Amino acid sequence: MEKIVQEIAKNQLLFLIAVGLGFCFIAALGSWPGSQSAPMGLGWRLGLGFIGLVMAVGFALPYWRQLSNKSPFNLEGEYYAEGDRDYKNTITHISDNIYQIKSHSWDGVGLVEGNYYYGIYKYTDHPDSVEAGNWGAHRAEIRFNELPIFVIDLGDRFETIGRRHRWEKAK
């Protein structure tokens, strides 16, 4: 029960759905449970029930859409690029379907839509990076424990075509 209350407190849509269902509950009972006040008239009960139903359904639809946009995959964690144990990329979940990626020489951000990750990145001013300030785009098909990723350096001074990489999730 405590976990459900915490989840409702974190998500505004769930909170508003719960309020709508609460209105329906009060309308069905005719008054607040345990209240000494007179029961509501039929008109008030119907009105409150209708408002509660509209709220519950009205906020349930965007909540359901929000859930369906989330990826079933857990991207968060460390990945090795091309199996190189010294080259790690760290993916952090920011919110909903948005993720941040950090590498030793670049930073990126992107979103998950279905089974795909779409992101942008920029090389940092790291001393090991000859491409400092360069930026580009990622597109990856999410698979179990790996990300086959297609990279395009959009401002690349050294390479003008896209290249494919494979990131493997660190155990």
| Domains in the chain: ranges and CATH | 2-69 (no CATH), 77-169 (2.40.128)
First to last CA, the chain: 33
Q: Cα separations (Å) of 129 from 7, 58, 104?
A: 42, 50, 9
Task: Give pLDDT, residue 37.
Answer: 76
pTM comes to 0.53
Q: Cα separations (Å) of 26 from 12, 16, 34, 38?
A: 21, 15, 11, 13
Q: Using 50 as the pLDDT threshold, list the residues of the chain that sit under it.
A: none
Task: Give pLDDT, residue 51.
Answer: 94
Q: Which residues contact 126 (CB under 8 A, 6 or more apart)?
A: 104, 105, 132
Task: Give pLDDT, residue 47.
Answer: 92
Task: Give pLDDT, residue 159.
Answer: 54
Task: Give pLDDT, residue 82.
Answer: 78
Task: Give pLDDT, residue 49.
Answer: 92
Task: Give pLDDT, residue 4.
Answer: 78
Task: Give pLDDT, residue 156.
Answer: 54
Q: How far apart are CA 160 and CA 152, in angstroms?
A: 8
